[in-house]
Each structure stands twice: as structure tokens, then as C-alpha cells.
Amino acid sequence: MSEKQPCTYQQTRFHRFHGYNLSLHDQDTVAHREMSFANAIVFSERSLSPGEVFLIEIESSENGWSGHIRLGLTQLDPDALQRSGHLLPQCAIPDMVSNKTMGESWICALTKHQAWYDANYLTNYFRLDGNHVFTSRGTFPTSILKSSRDDKMDILPTDVGSRVGVLYLPCGQNMAVMHFIINGEFVVPLSRTIPYNDGPIRAVIDVYGATKRVRVIQVYNVNSLQSACRETILKNIKAASVSKLPLPNALKEYLLYKT
């Protein structure tokens, strides 16, 4: 009888086609700008599903430059660009936003202060429910969206240790809204007219200005049968109903990400 293989997951990475001032490390999960302040655009390795969160953490910054990381979504195909010999523009804003000959992009600059709002979504693609988040790709604890720094209450969106996520949610026929989640808090919705059925949508990051190095945070690490079972259960019931299940308390705590 053959030995059973452990469950595996698809790691989230950056695409290997990127700006010439950028280098990738740690199996393409870290993007580092080597010099200057620009030419450091990079994409998610694959396209995103509606409600799927692409999350990064700012790992280092560099004094002497103005501006910070730019983040958003794009329908540009980095594989096609690479095959055609295209060079990426110097900056995501305004170059990728204003030049639509290669494809549409929706990108915003991250600033020290953002406009927050209290989101309580319940859709087929994304659901905030207690201390976990259900998305079209999988379930994860809300704590992973927050900074890992001890002083997380005082952290600014552009600080080292800040975690920034981007996603899109359909809001009508072939229309979607782009959202940012910064250190666990929702930013007021940004682009509202993304034609998400017109082509695959990827995350796009410009490691610009004072931002020097960013890392992909692995949100969807479903690498065990136990965590896969938890994800399936939480797809079908709300967190508030877990206490009513005929299960030992230890299992209930596991389902609620308390252990």
C-alpha cells in the first residue's frame, strides 16, 4: 500500500516579470527595490478570484524619498508582456492608470492616513464572521490581517510592519468594487467600476518611494486535513452557531481559531 501524501497548498507569490530595479527573494514571496525610487512594479503570480485577499507586509523602508507603496488591481497580463518584450513603466501612477493600451489598471497610493469605515460584508465571495474571514478561496483568522508588531495600535499604514490587502467584490453585472484592508481595518471603497468579467484580474504593487521591501503574507495555508475540515464547517455555519454544535469544547475553540 502506498504511503499517503500530506495535504499541500498553493503558495501565493509574486510574478517573475517585474520592474528592472526589483529583485525577488524567498521563493518569489519577497520583492526588494535595489536602487532609486521607481521601476519596481510587480504583479501577483496568478489572477485573483472575487473576494480573494492578496496580503503583503512592508518589511523595510528607505529615507530620502517621498511617497510610498502603490497598490491595486490590473487586467494586464504579465506573461503576454514578457513574451512581447514590453518593458514595464517607471511608475504605476500615473503610467499604468492613464495608459490603457495594454489593459485596465486600478491603483492607489498608500498614505499615512486613510479613511476607514466599519465593514460587515456577507456575500457569496467574502464574509466577515467573528474572528475569521470566509472568502471564495478559503477561510482564515482575522488576526492574520493585522500587523505582527507589538505596537500595532500605533502603526501607520505606511510603516514597516504594516499589512495591506487588496481584493475586489462584485456589485452588479460585470462590475466590482476594489477594497483595501490595512492592518485589519477596511478603507473606504476605492474604484467602483471594475469590469471583472472582461479578463483575469491580478494584484499589482509598485514598491515606490520610501517603501523598500515587501513580503507576501500566506493567508491561505490550508496544509492539514484538520484545517481543511475547519474551513468546510465554517463555510456552512456562522461563528455564533459553533457553540451549539455537539462537539467537545476543545474542538469548538479550534473552530473559532482560539487554539
Please, what is the Cα angle at 106 between 105 and 112, to 5 degrees?
Answer: 135
Return the closest-CA partner of residue 158 out of 204, 111, 91: 111
Neighbours of 117 (CB within 10 A): 9
Beta strands in 124-174 (DSSP E): 126-129, 132-135, 139-141, 163-172
Cross-strand partners of 73:
106, 203
Tell me whether residue 259 is exposed, middle or buried, using C-beta atoms within 10 angstroms of its C-beta: 0 to 12, 13 to 18, 19 or more.
exposed
Which tens digits make up the pLDDT trace of 180-203? Answer: 999 998 887 778 789 999 999 999
Which tens digits make up the pLDDT trace of 65-98? Answer: 999 999 999 999 999 999 999 889 999 999 999 8
Q: Is the pTM of this model over 0.95?
A: no
Is residue 137 a contact partner of residue 50, using CB atoms and an 8 Å limit?
no
Is residue 230 a contact partner of residue 255, using CB atoms and an 8 Å limit?
yes
Which tens digits make up the pLDDT trace of 99-116? Answer: 887 789 999 999 887 766
Signed CA dihedral, 133, 188, 163, 104: sign only:
positive
Which of residues 105 and 138 earns the better pLDDT score?
105
pLDDT given at position 234: 75
For residue 2, name the pLDDT band (cuts at 50, 70, 90): very low
End-to-end CA distance of the chain: 34
Looking at every residue in the chain, the average pLDDT score rounds to 86
Domains and their CATH numbers in the chain: 14-220 (2.60.120.920), 223-258 (1.10.750)
